[in-house]
Amino acid sequence: MGRARRFQWPLLLLWAAAAGPGAGQEVQTENVTVAEGGVAEITCRLHQYDGSIVVIQNPARQTLFFNGTRALKDERFQLEEFSPRRVRIRLSDARLEDEGGYFCQLYTEDTHHQIATLTVLVAPENPVVEVREQAVEGGEVELSCLVPRSRPAAVLRWYRDRKELKGVSSSKENGKVWSVKSAVRFRVDRKDDGGIIICEAQNQALPSGHSKQTQYVLDVQYSPTARIHASQAVVREGDTLVLTCAITGNPRPNQIRWTRGNESLPERAEAVGETLTLPGLVSADNGTYTCEASNKHGHARALYVLVVYDPGAVVEAQTSVPYAIVGGILALLVFLIICVLVGMVWCSVRQKGSYLTHEASGLDEQGEAREAFLNGSDGHKRKEEFFI
């Protein structure tokens, strides 16, 4: 038995023996399977062939070749080999209508034949993926995947971030082919916008390890967000400031509105879409600037507080700092000097009072001594002075 080419799988070997004067002659055939559009080879093997007539017929019993001569004008059938050992024909661009039994007939006194059954498989085309309704943040999305023709029925699988999703499949037979459909449902958020969902189809008509895939890009709608970016962190009089309102949202807001608190924008301001330009800044431009955007799912706003610095005022404030420090130090020194003087005066007054007190005590003792002398008393006390 010869080896089949790509997309061909030998299934069954049949044989018959011819009776009569040509007894011993044999015809063998092999069943063949081919993918639609592929190439199939149908072979009749001859054993002890004695030159009898050999006829090859299609499933409609139309003669394709008679003893090596073309009988049917279908150029897709080509006679590849006619020898005492075998007859081999080649079918290109195989179609579903080519499917059926091909007769290998050996004509002797009694006609004998064997049938080679040709089976045509249909590979799935790229699946068609559709969404049932628009996906919105916080809700669920349902996708369907359809393969209208396959034989045998294709197996459909869903993948998201390389992980398989569980879908629900159904199939319907349409003549010789099958229509297969699968649906999957899952919850989505704004981070899922732009994510890729894959529907994969496989069956035996495809080469081993191969599949047909279709990628679907998720379109998840959500409310907008807003954030203001300034062209510089510190702004001074005379600078030009550019504010950019970074907007996200699906659908993307197509209008952005700039305002300044309860006041109108400066006359020099230029608002173009996402940018607000403020040239030649002055302190009168100070205020809270707002950008606003909205879509059918919500509204967003962002704030920016503008404070314009006056370089002259900054320099004046910086030069006044040393004088204030010197003044503070001088005041502290004067306070300390006053404290020292007060302490010295207080100490001096205290010392003088102590001296007078002890001096008076000495006078009293002197009177007592004089009295003792007059009285002839021997007792005498020495005058002592004490200084405190």
DSSP collapsed to 3 states, the chain: CCCCCCCCCCCCEEEEECCHHHCCCEEEEECEEEECCCCEEEEEEEECCCCCEEEEECCCCCEEEECCEECCCCCCEEEEEECCCEEEEEECCCCHHHCEEEEEEEECCCEEEEEEEEEEEECCCCCEEEECCCEECCCEEEEEEEEEEEECCCEEEEEECCEEECCEEEEEEECCEEEEEEEEEEECCHHHCCCEEEEEEECCCCCCCCCEEEEEECCEEEEEEEEEEECCCCCECCCCEEEEEEEEEECCCCCEEEEECCECCCCCCEEECCEEEECCCCHHHCEEEEEEEEECCEEEEEEEEECCECHHHHHHHHHHHHHHHHHHHHHHHHHHHHHHHHHHHHHHHHHHHHHHHHHHHHHHHHHHHHHHHHCCCCCCCCCCCCCC
Q: pLDDT-derived band of residue 4, with 50, 70 and 90 as boundaries?
A: very low
d(CA 110, CA 251): 80
pLDDT, tens digit, 9 for 90 and up, residues 134-155 = 999 999 999 999 999 999 999 9
pLDDT, tens digit, 9 for 90 and up, residues 80-101 = 999 988 999 999 999 999 999 9
The CB density around residue 3, as the number of other CB atoms within 10 Å, is 6
d(CA 107, CA 18): 9
Q: What number is the average pLDDT over the span 16-40? A: 73
pLDDT above 70 as % of the chain: 79
pLDDT, tens digit, 9 for 90 and up, residues 300-324 = 999 999 999 877 665 444 444 455 6
Q: What number is the average pLDDT over the span 99-124? A: 90
Flag the least confident range among 148-152, 285-289, 368-372: 368-372
Q: What number is the average pLDDT over the span 43-58? A: 89
Flag the least confident range among 88-92, 103-107, 226-230: 103-107
Q: What number is the average pLDDT over the span 158-173? A: 95
* The pair of three-digit structure tokens given for residue 358, joined into one six-digit string: 């002890």
pLDDT at 14: 34
Flag the least confident range among 100-109, 177-186, 367-376: 367-376
Cis peptide before 152 (omega within 30 of 0): yes
pLDDT at 312: 67
Ordered domains of the chain (ranges, CATH): 30-121 (2.60.40.10), 128-220 (2.60.40.10), 223-306 (2.60.40.10)
pLDDT at 326: 64
Cβ proximity of 139 and 188 under 8 Å: yes
pLDDT at 338: 85
pLDDT at 353: 53
C-alpha count within 13 angstroms, C-beta hemisphere, residue 201: 32
Flag the least confident range among 1-5, 239-243, 274-278, 382-386: 1-5
pLDDT, tens digit, 9 for 90 and up, residues 257-284 = 999 998 999 999 999 999 999 999 999 9
Q: Is the pTM of this model over 0.75?
A: no
